[in-house]
Amino acid sequence: MNPEQVWKEIGERFADRAYAAELLQRQDQQGLDVVLELFWECALARGIRLSEQARQDAAALVDDWRAEVVQPLRQLRRRMKPLQTKVVEAAGIRAQIQAAELQAERAQIRMLCEWLDAYQARSATAQALGG
């Protein structure tokens, strides 16, 4: 899958305010990886159905990136929101952090697209070999 196209589709899905609010609530309350959830939706829209094991493998692939990069950026951005009334520069810095968070999520999409392409190639090879 093309990461840029997937990113665009994810943005379109997230533009539905009610759905975005639901996803963010699940993120905050249940630890849902919104990027991963929306990636699955994009794959499914293309007719790509993945086993639970495959989904776990993909989630494991991006787990460190999410935990070490995406989530700390998100937490910092959220913690800075109330500081915007106290520190003039806070809003600009917060916007830069949000941009970095989005860029990190785009990197996660690229990782997932590369994983999916390799997964599908392995599956096709196994099927051709009768496995």
Domain boundaries, the chain: 3-128
Cα 44–Cα 69–Cα 80 angle in degrees, nearest 5: 110
The per-residue pLDDT for 128 is 76
CA distance 95 to 121: 39
CA distance 23 to 61: 21
* Ranges under pLDDT 50 in the chain: none
The per-residue pLDDT for 131 is 57
pTM over 0.85: yes
For residue 104, what are the CA distances in angstroms to 10, 67, 108, 119, 126? 14, 11, 6, 22, 33
CA distance 42 to 69: 23
Question: Counting every residue, how long is the chain?
Answer: 131
The per-residue pLDDT for 122 is 86
